[in-house]
Amino acid sequence: MSDVIRAEGLRKRFGDTQALDGVDLTVRRGTVLGVLGPNGAGKTTAVRVLATLLKPDAGRAEVCGYDVVRDSVRVRAKIGLTGQYASVDEELTGTENLVMIARLLDFSRREARARAKELLARFSLTDAGGRAVKTYSGGMRRRLDLAASLINRPEVIYLDEPTTGLDPRARGEVWDTVREVVADGASVLLTTQYLEEADALADRIAVFDHGHVIAEGTSAELKARAGRQTLAVRAADLYRVEQLTTIVADLTGARPEVQAATGLVTAPIGDPAVLSAVVRRLDEAGLVAAELALRMPSLDEVFLTLTGHHAEPAATETVTEGSLV
């Protein structure tokens, strides 16, 4: 069986909100599915259904071949859950948290202590193991959360917005851990609001909007769906920008944009073959390119194309909140 998660037509309603409106998802064994979408798109609800915390109103889902509603205890033996909602106990130490969960997973006392020690070491928390979790930094807490969800070596790991609210360094640490877990053979379902995160970690991406999966594919496929690529060229000699702009305009048939500060010339292209033509013309003109690339559209552009709105309205929300204070 190559799919560890298979969900069909999941629906869930809370009052007036249709949180899931017919969601289909599959996750292949050993891969990372990134579930990308803005707040309220239904990502967390989908994770809670697949983690047996919520019963769907309609539709069905199997995790490792077990039905999430009828065989929920077996599903729970196969999964690990980390995220904004499933948390560790702040009042206990890191070691106590891990030992407690290991004991709940039927490890003997000795096995539980050994597993806790092993995981603390792996997540660079050995020194903090004896301290209460409430004294941990945000990054340390997330790492402990992640360690807690790995105790029984789950086949499927749900990471619900694992880096929301973390600084870039802590985020990088969590990313490294996710890559390690996948290298060990686990399959991951990761929800995120960050396009960059889905791009960095996910093999395939499902884009959620208003309880629907509006697009699904690899990062490259999604970018291809958003349409045209961009040619970007920068001359080694800044004073030859004008000559370069003329060449680019000539070959692409578009009016190039020029960044005054860096001398970067960009233009949308329809046919990737233009790239080799550009190389020939630059060569003939004796122009040395310091930078020459075909750029895929960013995931934000993809999101805009697919949904008609930007993926991250969070930036403007923060401003409004800030101005209230």
Partner 1 sequence: MSTMTADTASAVRTGAEPPRRVSPRRTLSHGLTLAWRNIAQLKHSPEKLLDVTLMPIVFLLLFLYVFGGAVAGDTHSYLQKLLPGLVAQMAMFATMGLGTALAEDIQKGVFDRFRSLPIARSAPLIGTVLGDTVRFLMVVTVLVGFGTALGFRFHTDPLSVLGAFALAYVFYLAVSWVSVLVGLLAPGPETVQGLAFLWVMPLTFGSSVLVPDTSTMPGWLQAWTKVNPVTHLADAVRALTTGGPVGNHVWYTLAWAAGIVLVTFPIAIRMYNRRA
| Strand, coil or helix: 19 | strand
Measure the CA angle with vertex 206, ends 201 and 211; round to 5°.
135
Q: Among 1, 2, 73, 324, which residue interacts with partner 1 (rule: CB under 8 A)? A: 73
Q: Which is nearer to partner 1, 60 or 240 (CB)?
A: 60
How far is Cα 29 from Cα 35, in angstroms, rounded to an integer?
16
Q: Is 184 in the site for partner 1 (CB under 8 A)?
A: no
Segment (H or E) for 301: helix 299-307
User: Are the beta carbons of 190 and 32 closer than 8 angstroms?
Assistant: yes
Structure tokens at 43: 């990502």
Binding part of the chain for partner 1, among 86-94, 189-197, 219-227, 303-311 by CB under 8 A, reads 86-94
**Is residue 54 within the footprint of partner 1 (CB under 8 A)?**
yes
Q: Which of residues 240-259 bind partner 1 (CB under 8 A)?
A: none
Q: Toward partner 1, which CB reaches closer, 96 or 312?
A: 96
For 272-293, the DSSP string reads TTHHHHHHHHHHHHTPPEEEEE
What size, in residues, is the chain?
Answer: 325
Q: CB-wise, 89 or 203, nearer to partner 1? A: 89
Tell me which stretch binds partner 1 (CB under 8 A): 94-102, 270-278, 283-291, 313-321.
94-102
Are 61 and 230 in contact by the 8 Å Cβ rule? The answer is no
Amino acid at 129: G
The contacts of residue 112 (CB under 8 Å, 6+ apart) are 98, 99, 102, 103
Is position 130 an interface residue for partner 1 (rule: CB under 8 A)? Answer: no
Q: 158 pairs with which residues across the strands?
A: 81, 189
Applying CB under 8 A, among 29, 30, 60, 86 the residue interacting with partner 1 is: 86
- CB-nearer residue toward partner 1: 39 or 108: 108
If binding is defined by CB under 8 A, does position 11 make contact with partner 1?
A: no
135 lies in the binding site for partner 1 (CB under 8 A): no
67 forms part of the interface with partner 1 (CB under 8 A): no
Residue 77 beta carbon to partner 1: minimum distance, rounded to whole angstroms: 4
Helix axes 274-285, 241-252, angle to 10 degrees: 140
Q: Give the contact letters, 140-159, x = binds to partner 1 (CB under 8 A), - = no.
A: --------x---xx------
Q: Which of residues 17, 39, 58, 104 is near partner 1 by CB under 8 A?
A: 104
Residue 43 · residue 318 · CB < 8 Å:
no
Q: Please tell me the distance from the alpha carbon of residue 289 to that of residue 141, in angstroms, as a whole number.
A: 47
**Smallest gap, in angstroms, from Cβ of residue 150 to partner 1?**
12
C-alpha–C-alpha distance, residues 226 and 107, integer Å: 49
Closer residue to partner 1 (CB): 70 or 309: 70
Choice from 90, 180, 250, 291 touching partner 1 (CB under 8 A): 90
Strand-by-strand arrangement of the 66-67 sheet: 17-28, 3-14, 58-63, 66-67
Q: How far apart are CA 165 and CA 278, in angstroms?
A: 43
Nearer to partner 1, 111 or 196 (CB): 111
Q: Which two tokens stand for residue 27?
A: 């996750």
Region near partner 1 per CB under 8 A, out of 75-83, 180-188, 282-290, 307-315: 75-83
Q: Does 89 bind partner 1 (CB under 8 A)?
A: yes
Options 28, 29, 74, 117; binder of partner 1; rule CB under 8 A: 74
Residue numbers at the binding site for partner 1 (CB under 8 A) = 14, 48, 51-54, 71, 73-74, 76-81, 84-93, 96, 100-101, 103-108, 111, 132, 148, 152-153
